[in-house]
Amino acid sequence: MEIDQHELYEYARLRLKQKKRLYFHFVLFFVGSIFMIVANKLLDVKPEINWYQWGIAVWGFIFALHFIRVFITDSFMNKKWERAQIDKLIMKQERKLEQIEKDFNQKNNISQ
Q: How far apart are CA 23 and CA 29, in angstroms?
A: 10
SS (H, E, C) the chain: CCHHHHHHHHHHHHHHHHHHHHHHHHHHHHHHHHHHHHHHHHCCCCCCCCHHHHHHHHHHHHHHHHHHHHHHHHHHCCHHHHHHHHHHHHHHHHHHHHHHHHHHHHHCCCCC
pLDDT tens digit string along 31-86?
Answer: 999 999 999 988 887 878 889 999 999 999 999 999 999 988 877 777 777 888 88
Domain borders along the chain are 3-77, 78-112
Looking at residue 108, its pLDDT comes to 80
| Mean pLDDT calculated for residue range 7-20 | 87
Looking at residue 67, its pLDDT comes to 94
Looking at residue 15, its pLDDT comes to 87
